[in-house]
Structure 1
Amino acid sequence: NKMREHIAAKGAMVKAGYRRKKEDRGILPSGVREVLVLNTNDLAKIEAATERVAARIASGVRRRKREQIEEEAATLGIRVLNPK
């Protein structure tokens, strides 16, 4: 493996020093923390959060439930990161 052998053209080897601080992980460049949402009950948990939070609807959620989640998020004023 040429990367393991530290051949310069193959890129830098990943090391523990590249990791972010624990409190900075999961924050998007806009400063918003992302929360995965599976149903409308998860939106209620987001609403109770004190920090800036945005919802990302899980990939397994299908059309009808996705529409319900998007409507509920709009009424609560929660931003959805992946609307359809």
Structure 2
Amino acid sequence: MIDMSFLKVIRGWALREKMPIREIARRTGISRNTIKKYLREGIVEPAFQTPDRPSKLDPYVTQLTAWLVSDQRKSRKERRTA
């Protein structure tokens, strides 16, 4: 994900220094289409936020932590590898 300071650099290169979008894409490793989108829409910060969802492992947290604690007490060769 691109942070705000990085977007400011992209906007500075494009608007103040008149750097071509292709050169910005080459320097940053970001797609030209993505750079165009950020410049066209005037995006300051990407808007997508990951919603909070329960994990599929939540019902098993107590059992998993108990296994991990018991594995820590064992010698290296007796521990689970996966």
Please give the range of the TM-score, normalised by the shorter of the 2 chains: under 0.3
Q: Which protein is richer in helix relative to its size?
A: 2
TM-score for the superposition, normalised by structure 1: 0.24
Q: Which protein is richer in strand relative to its size?
A: 1
Whose Rg is larger? 2
TM-score for the superposition, normalised by structure 2: 0.25
